[in-house]
Chains A and B, each alone.
Chain A
Amino acid sequence: MQWSIETRNLRRTFRDRPVRRLFRRAVGTPVPDKVALDSVNVTVRPGELFGLLGPNGAGKTTIIKILSTLLLPSAGEALVDGIDVAKDPDSVRRRVNMVSGGEHSGYGILTVRETIWMFSQFYGVPTKVAKKRADAMIERLNLTESADTKTSKLSTGMRQKMNIIRGFVTDPKILFLDEPTLGLDVGIAREVRAFVSEWISEHPERTVLLTTHYMAEADSMCDRVAIIDQGRVLACDTPANLKRDLAPDCVYQIEVPLWTETISPLDQMPVVRSVAMEHRGDQGRTHLRVILEEEGGIASVTDRLAKRGARVLSMTRLEPSLEDAFLNLVGHGLSSGNGENGAR
Chain B
Amino acid sequence: MRTYLITNLRAIWGRAYVRVVGANREPSWLFFEVALPLLASFSFALIYRGMGAPEQYVGFVVVSGAMIAFWQNILWSMAAQFYWEKEMGNLELYLMAPISRMSILMGMAVGGLFMTAIRATLILLIGTWVFGVTYQVSSWLLLTGVFVLTMGAVYGLGMLSSSLFMLFGREAWHTANLFQEPVYFATGFYFPVRALGDLGAMLASAIPLTLGLDAIRQLIFSGKPVNPLFTVRTEMLLLVVATIFFNWAALRALRFMENLGKQSGRLTLKGQ
Binding site for B on A (CB under 8 A): 14, 65, 68-72, 90, 93-94, 96-98, 103-107, 109-110, 114, 117-125
CB distance from B20 to the nearest CB of A (A): 11
CB atoms of B90 and A105 under 8 A apart: yes
B26 at the interface (CB under 8 A from A): yes
B residues within 8 A CB of A123?
7, 97-98
CB atoms of A118 and B14 under 8 A apart: yes
Separation of A209 and B213 alpha carbons in the complex (Å): 54
Residue of B nearest to A102 (CB): B89
Separation of A117 and B17 alpha carbons in the complex (Å): 10
B residues within 8 A CB of A122?
7, 10-11, 14, 93-94, 97-99
With A71-B262, A123-B98 known, 19 other A-B pairs at CB within 8 A are A70-B95, A70-B267, A70-B268, A72-B263, A93-B96, A94-B98, A109-B18, A109-B22, A117-B14, A118-B15, A119-B14, A121-B10, A122-B7, A122-B14, A122-B93, A123-B7, A124-B6, A124-B7, A124-B98
Can you list 14 A-B pairs, Cβ within 8 angstroms, ordered by A?
A: A70-B95, A72-B259, A72-B262, A93-B98, A105-B93, A118-B15, A118-B17, A119-B93, A121-B10, A121-B11, A121-B13, A122-B7, A124-B11, A124-B98
CB distance from B83 to the nearest CB of A (A): 15
Residue of A nearest to B11 (CB): A122
Q: Which one, B6, B25, B88, B89, contacts A109 given CB within 8 A?
A: B25
A residues within 8 A CB of B198?
none
Q: Which one, B25, B89, B98, B263, contacts A90 given CB within 8 A?
A: B98
* A-B CB contacts (within 8 Å), total count: 82
CB atoms of B92 and A109 under 8 A apart: no
CB distance from A343 to the nearest CB of B (A): 25
Separation of A118 and B17 alpha carbons in the complex (Å): 8
- For the complex of A and B, list the 10 residue pairs with the smallest distance between their C-beta atoms, beginning with the closest: A121-B14, A124-B7, A122-B97, A93-B98, A121-B10, A94-B98, A72-B262, A118-B14, A109-B22, A122-B11
B residues within 8 A CB of A14?
265
B3 at the interface (CB under 8 A from A): yes
Separation of A69 and B94 alpha carbons in the complex (Å): 11
Separation of A14 and B263 alpha carbons in the complex (Å): 9
Residue of B nearest to A115 (CB): B18
A residues within 8 A CB of B51?
none
Separation of A299 and B268 alpha carbons in the complex (Å): 53
CB atoms of B96 and A71 under 8 A apart: no
A residues within 8 A CB of B268?
65, 70-71
Task: Annotate B119-149 by CB proximity to A: 1 below 8 A, 0 otherwise.
Answer: 0000000000000000000000000000000
B residues within 8 A CB of A90?
98
B21 at the interface (CB under 8 A from A): yes
CB distance from A30 to the nearest CB of B (A): 18
The DSSP consensus for interface residues of chain B is helix
Separation of A72 and B259 alpha carbons in the complex (Å): 8
CB atoms of A98 and B96 under 8 A apart: yes
CB atoms of B13 and A109 under 8 A apart: no
Separation of A170 and B21 alpha carbons in the complex (Å): 23
Task: Annotate B18-56 by CB proximity to A: 1 below 8 A, 0 otherwise.
Answer: 100110011000000000000000000000000000000
Residue of B nearest to A74 (CB): B263
Task: Annotate B251-272 by CB proximity to A: 1 below 8 A, 0 otherwise.
Answer: 0000000010011010110000
B residues within 8 A CB of A68?
92, 96
Q: Which one, B10, B17, B89, contacts A114 given CB within 8 A?
A: B17
Chain B's interface size range is: 20 to 34
Separation of A71 and B261 alpha carbons in the complex (Å): 8
CB-CB under 8 A for A124 and B90, given A71-B265, A71-B267, A109-B25 = no
A residues within 8 A CB of B95?
69-70
Task: Annotate B83-111 by CB proximity to A: 1 below 8 A, 0 otherwise.
Answer: 00000111011111111000000000000
CB distance from B70 to the nearest CB of A (A): 23
Separation of A120 and B98 alpha carbons in the complex (Å): 11
Separation of A93 and B8 alpha carbons in the complex (Å): 14
Separation of A69 and B13 alpha carbons in the complex (Å): 24
CB distance from B119 to the nearest CB of A (A): 18
A residues within 8 A CB of B97?
93, 119, 122-123
Separation of A94 and B3 alpha carbons in the complex (Å): 11
Separation of A217 and B39 alpha carbons in the complex (Å): 59
CB atoms of B94 and A109 under 8 A apart: no
Q: Which one, B10, B15, B25, B92, contacts A70 given CB within 8 A?
A: B92
Q: Which one, A65, A97, A106, A117, contacts B90 given CB within 8 A?
A: A106
CB distance from A51 to the nearest CB of B (A): 21
Q: Which one, B18, B88, B94, contacts A110 given CB within 8 A?
A: B18
A residues within 8 A CB of B7?
122-124
Separation of A124 and B99 alpha carbons in the complex (Å): 9
CB-CB under 8 A for A70 and B96, given A14-B265, A121-B10 = yes
Separation of A330 and B99 alpha carbons in the complex (Å): 41
Task: Annotate B201-234 by CB proximity to A: 1 below 8 A, 0 otherwise.
Answer: 0000000000000000000000000000000000
Separation of A14 and B267 alpha carbons in the complex (Å): 13
Separation of A93 and B93 alpha carbons in the complex (Å): 11
A residues within 8 A CB of B92?
68, 70, 98
CB atoms of A70 and B89 under 8 A apart: no
Q: Which one, A109, A120, A124, contacts B26 given CB within 8 A?
A: A109
Separation of A93 and B88 alpha carbons in the complex (Å): 21
CB distance from B44 to the nearest CB of A (A): 34
Separation of A125 and B13 alpha carbons in the complex (Å): 12
CB atoms of B21 and A110 under 8 A apart: yes
A residues within 8 A CB of B6?
124
CB atoms of A70 and B88 under 8 A apart: no
B residues within 8 A CB of A70?
92, 95-96, 262, 267-268
